[in-house]
Structures are given as C-alpha cells and as structure tokens.
Amino acid sequence: MSEIWDVLIDCKDTIIDVFNEHCEEIEEPGMSQFNKPDSGWINRVWKSTSVRRAHIDVVDARDTRGLWMMHVCVFPQLDNNAPVYGFDVIAGKNKMTGAFLDYSPMLSANHPMCEGYLESVQDFVPKKQRELPEWATNIFSKGMVAAGNVNTTGEAKDIVNLALMNLEAYFAEIDLYAGVGDPVEIAAAQNYYCENQQQNPHTPRTMKSLGLDEAEVDLFCKDMLFPKIV
C-alpha cells in the first residue's frame, strides 16, 4: 500500500470528473492506439467551446516497475487568450520524483488568470526545488511549481490540492476570455509552447523506462503528446 499513489490516483479520478463536467470527451484521430487502460496506459481527450484540447495521459506501471506517471494539459481555443494549464507527476511507492504545475502564459504574463495562479502558489515552497532547463524557462511562468523528492504524504497532498484548486479555477474563469485574442497570435504561441515541450528528453525516456514499446512512445511523443496546430 502506498499513500502517495493513493493520493495521485484520487487526483486522476477527480481530474477526469472535472473534464467530464466542463467538456465533452472526443475521439481524437490517432489517439485510440495509445489508450490501453487494460495494460495501464490511458490517453483521453476532451474539448469545449473554450477549451481546444484537455488531455490526460497516465501510465500505471506500479506492478511492473514500481512507478506511476500522469500528464495533464489544457489548451484554450484559438480565440481565447487564457494560459495553458499543465500538471505532470511521476511517483514511486514512497515519493514523487517530480511534480510540475503551471499556468503557462500564451500572450501575456499579466493575464488575470496568470496573476491569480501566481497568488495561489506564492506561499508553497517545495522542500526540493527542481532546476529547469532552457526549453522550460522559455514557456513556463515564474510561478511554476517544480518539486522533486516529495517523500511525505503531506507535501504530496499540498501539491495535488494546488493542482486541483487551480484546475477548478481554470474552468471557472476560462469562458470569460472567449473571443479575447487573435487566433493567429494564439496559434503561434501554442505552437511555440508545443515546440519547447517536444524538446524535453525526459518524457520519452521515462515512458520507455515504464515498459512501454519504444516505437510507440516515439510516435506518441512526436505526434500526440503536444501536437502542433497545422
């Protein structure tokens, strides 16, 4: 039994409930081959009038590798200048090796949603701060939560509570910014975000270490994890 895993699985279930409440689940072309819940790999996508793509990716390798991973990302529609919501975590039985949470600005770091996010995380200081590479500093906000070696249930719950609180706030506010933004500028900003995320070497390496097929991981990370707008 792992308390940290229990916290994260409850978090995953809550995120899916939030997506179901505010969006409609869709069959994104090409995603079905990567949605294999019976083998521990989940990929599901939702959308709404304000959300272009809400994606959850979970790899449950607790029995085989002693690890559990989740990636969550929400992109606004192209006429909406809201930030991108992102939450990523990987955890062994006794600790989160990494947890990352952000509202990543698209056109302005002074967006009201970004300012609200910064206020919500300003008092949280991880026991171990993860250093961010250049590709990450290109796109993440100055309030990005980047925690490593989270080995207490209390800190794990603090991070999860921040992630869920900010996800609820995201959906409570995003409709306010529908039609506020130039679709060409927003598409370019979202593509820049995806381009930088695709430079992250840790994601495919981690997924392969969890026992997923290497060729499938390469295809997934190239085409489906952060697909650019074409």
Let me know if residue 230 belongs to a domain.
no
- The CA distance from 150 to 133, in Å, is 20
Handedness of CA 136, 118, 170, 109 (dihedral sign): negative
Mean pLDDT of the chain: 95
* pLDDT, tens digit (0-9, with 9 covering 90-100), for 64-111: 999 999 999 999 999 999 999 999 999 999 999 999 999 999 999 999
Query: Does residue 211 sit within a domain?
Result: yes
Residue 199 forms part of a structural domain = yes
Percent of all residues in the chain with a pLDDT value above 90, rounded to a whole number: 94
Cβ burial of 134 (10 Å; 0-12, 13-18, 19+) is exposed
Residue 185 confidence class, pLDDT cut points 50, 70, 90:
very high
Q: Is residue 137 in some structural domain?
A: yes
Total domains present in the chain: 1
pLDDT exceeds cutoff 90 at 126: no
3-state secondary structure of 38: helix
Residue 62 and residue 113: Cα distance in Å, rounded?
35
pLDDT at 190: 98
| pTM of the predicted model as reported, rounded to 2 decimal places | 0.97
In a domain, 49, yes or no: yes
Q: Is residue 20 part of a domain?
A: yes
Lowest average pLDDT, out of 11-25, 128-142, 167-181, goes to: 128-142
Does residue 228 lie in a domain region? no
Q: What is the CATH number of the domain that holds 103?
A: 3.40.1500.20
Tokens for 10, please give them.
Answer: 């409850």
In the prediction, which pLDDT does 135 show?
94
Q: What is the pLDDT of residue 1?
A: 63
Q: Which domain holds residue 183?
A: 3-223
pLDDT (average), residues 203-216: 93
Strands (E), 16-163: 24-26, 41-47, 51-61, 67-76, 84-92, 96-104, 145-150
Q: Rounded mean pLDDT of 178-187? A: 95
Residue 198 lies in a domain: yes
As beta bridge partners, residue 133 has none
Rounded percentage of the chain residues whose pLDDT exceeds 70: 100
Helix (H, G, I), strand (E, B) or coil at 211: coil
CB-based burial label for 179 (10 Å; 0-12, 13-18, 19+): exposed
Tokens of 135: 């590709």
Residue 112 CB neighbours (<10 A) = 12
* 19 and 54 Cβ atoms separated by less than 8 Å: yes
Confidence label for 41 from pLDDT (cuts 50, 70 and 90):
very high
